[in-house]
C-alpha cells in the first residue's frame, strides 16, 4: 500500500490527528494545545473537512500548520453537503484552501458517496485538481467496498487511482474487516479509519457515569446503543486494568494492529484526553493480545454464505 506517512519524504508516526473538534468543542487555545501535543509525539498527518465546525477547523489548522507546512500532510474532505457535482467540489475545495491558507492540499477526500451524481463528473473534477497540482492524493470516506471499486474503475479512465479510504473502524464497529480492508490490500489503497475509540465508548468513561458524545448526541447514542457494545467496553476496561494500561490505548493499538496497517485517526476535545491514544503509538501488541481483544466483540460474517469455505 501507499505509505502516506512519508508523503513528503519526512519521517513521521503512522497515526493521523482528526481536527473535527477544532473551533467547536475545542476553542482556539485548546486546539493549539492538541496540535502541539501531536507534533511533539511526531504526528505530521492532520485531517479536517470543509463542513467541520463551520470552517473553523480548517481555519485553525491552517494557522497552526503555516510555519511548518512542508513537514506536514494535510487532508480535507468535500461533498458532505451539496453533492459531488464538479461545481460543488470546486467551490468547497477553493473555500477549504482559502481557510487553510494553502495553495494545495495533500489529500482530498470525497466525504460521502453521492449516488445522484454521475461518478465521471466527480472523478473528472478531482482529476482536474490533481493535474493542476492542487491536490496530490485522492481519498473517499464512508464508501462501501463496491462504491470504492466503482470509483476506482472510473478513476482509471482518467489515469488516476483511489489512494486512501476513510471508514469507521473500532472494536465494536468491524464491518470493514469483511470487504473494505481486504480490498484495500488488494488494491494497494491506504486506510485511515476514524472513531477508533467508538465515540468515547471504548475509553470506559461511560461505565463510570462520564459524559460525552454518546450522552450528548442522538446519532452517537444510536450508533453505539446495543448493550453488547457496552459489554465489550467493560471487558476491555478489565483487560486494560490487568495490563496496567488505559482502555483507550488498547482500543487504538488494536485498530492499528490489523494486517492491512490502518493509520488510526485519533482526536479529542482537550489535551488531557490525548495521552492514552498517543501511547498506542509505542504499544507493542502481540498476536495473543490481539486475538484476546478481538474475541471481546463479534467477528463479522464472511462476505458470502459459503461459510464452510471460510473454516
Strand arrangement, sheet containing 73-78 = 190-191, 164-166, 135-141, 105-110, 73-78, 45-47, 16-18, 265-266
Q: How many CB atoms lie within 10 A of CB 246?
A: 20
Q: Where are the beta strands (DSSP E) in 148-264?
A: 164-166, 190-191
Q: What is the pLDDT of residue 206?
A: 80
Q: What is the pLDDT of residue 11?
A: 55
Q: Is the pLDDT of residue 8 over 70?
A: no
Burial of 161 (C-beta count, 10 Å sphere; 0-12/13-18/19+): middle
Burial of 201 (C-beta count, 10 Å sphere; 0-12/13-18/19+): buried
Percent of the chain at pLDDT > 90 equals 86
Q: What is the pLDDT of residue 311?
A: 57
Q: Is the pLDDT of residue 131 over 90?
A: yes
User: Does residue 102 contact residue 69 with C-beta atoms inside 8 Å?
Assistant: yes
Pick the residue with more confidence: 184 or 220? 184
Distance (Å, whole) CA 269 – CA 34: 8
Percent of the chain at pLDDT > 70 equals 95
Q: Is the pLDDT of residue 193 over 60?
A: yes
Q: For the residues 257-279, what does the mean pLDDT come to?
A: 96
Q: Is the pLDDT of residue 2 over 70?
A: no
Q: What is the pLDDT of residue 171?
A: 98
Q: For the residues 146-153, what does the mean pLDDT come to?
A: 98
**Which residues is 139 bridged to in the sheet?**
109, 164
Q: What is the pLDDT of residue 1?
A: 43
The x, y and z cell numbers of residue 276, run together, are 492514552
Task: Encode 167-192 in three state secondary structure.
Answer: CECECCECHHHCCHHHHHHHHCCEEC
Least reliable range by pLDDT among 112-116, 147-151, 176-180, 303-307: 303-307
**What number of CA atoms fall less than 13 Å from residue 261's CA on the CB side?**
13
Q: What domains appear along the chain, each with residue ranges and CATH number?
A: 1-166 (3.20.20.100)
Pick the residue with more confidence: 214 or 28? 28
Least reliable range by pLDDT among 42-46, 104-108, 167-171, 208-212: 208-212
Q: What is the pLDDT of residues 39-88, one digit of tens each?
A: 999 999 999 999 999 999 999 999 999 999 999 999 999 999 999 999 99
The x, y and z cell numbers of residue 68, run together, are 511548518
Q: What is the pLDDT of residues 93-129, one digit of tens each?
A: 999 999 999 999 999 999 999 999 999 999 999 999 9
Instruction: Provide the mean pLDDT of the chain.
Output: 93
Q: Is the pLDDT of residue 216 over 60?
A: yes
Q: What is the pLDDT of residue 12?
A: 65
pLDDT band at 205 (very low <50, low <70, confident <90, very high): confident
Q: In which residue are the cell numbers 495473543 written?
A: 288
**What number of CA atoms fall less than 13 Å from residue 27's CA on the CB side?**
1
Q: What is the pLDDT of residue 307?
A: 73
Amino acid at each position: 500500500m501507499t505509505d502516506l506517512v512519508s508523503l513528503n519524504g519526512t519521517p513521521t508516526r503512522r497515526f493521523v490527528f482528526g481536527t473535527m473538534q477544532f473551533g467547536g468543542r475545542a476553542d482556539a487555545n485548546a486546539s493549539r494545545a492538541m496540535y502541539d501535543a501531536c507534533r511533539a509525539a511526531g504526528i505530521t498527518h492532520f485531517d479536517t473537512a470543509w463542513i467541520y465546525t463551520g470552517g473553523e477547523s480548517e481555519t485553525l489548522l491552517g494557522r497552526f500548520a503555516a510555519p511548518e507546512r512542508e513537514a506536514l500532510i494535510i487532508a480535507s474532505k468535500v461533498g458532505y453537503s451539496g453533492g459531488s457535482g464538479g461545481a460543488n467540489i470546486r467551490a468547497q475545495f477553493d473555500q477549504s484552501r482559502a481557510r487553510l491558507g494553502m495553495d494545495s492540499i495533500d489529500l482530498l477526500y470525497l466525504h460521502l458517496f453521492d449516488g445522484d451524481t454521475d461518478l465521471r463528473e466527480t472523478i473528472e473534477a478531482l482529476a482536474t485538481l490533481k493535474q493542476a497540482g492542487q491536490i496530490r492524493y485522492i481519498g473517499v470516506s464512508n464508501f462501501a467496498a463496491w462504491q470504492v471499486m466503482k470509483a476506482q474503475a472510473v478513476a482509471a479512465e482518467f489515469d488516476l487511482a483511489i489512494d486512501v479510504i476513510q471508514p469507521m473502524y473500532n472494536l465494536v464497529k468491524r464491518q470493514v474487516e469483511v470487504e473494505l480492508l481486504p480490498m484495500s490490500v488488494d488494491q494497494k489503497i491506504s486506510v485511515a479509519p476514524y472513531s477508533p475509540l467508538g465515540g468515547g465508548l471504548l475509553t470506559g468513561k461511560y461505565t463510570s457515569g462520564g459524559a460525552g458524545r454518546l450522552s450528548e448526541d442522538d446519532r452517537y447514542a444510536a450508533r453505539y446503543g446495543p448493550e453488547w457494545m457496552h459489554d465489550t467496553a467493560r471487558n476491555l476496561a478489565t483487560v486494560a486494568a490487568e495490563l496496567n494500561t488505559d482502555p483507550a490505548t488498547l482500543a487504538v493499538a488494536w485498530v492499528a494492529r490489523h494486517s492491512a496497517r490502518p493509520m488510526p485517526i485519533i482526536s479529542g476535545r482537550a489535551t488531557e484526553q490525548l495521552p492514552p491514544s498517543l501511547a498506542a503509538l509505542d504499544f507493542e501488541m502481540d498476536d495473543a493480545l490481539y486475538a484476546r481483544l478481538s474475541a471481546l466483540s463479534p467477528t463479522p460474517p464472511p462476505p458470502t454464505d459459503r461459510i464452510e469455505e471460510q473454516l
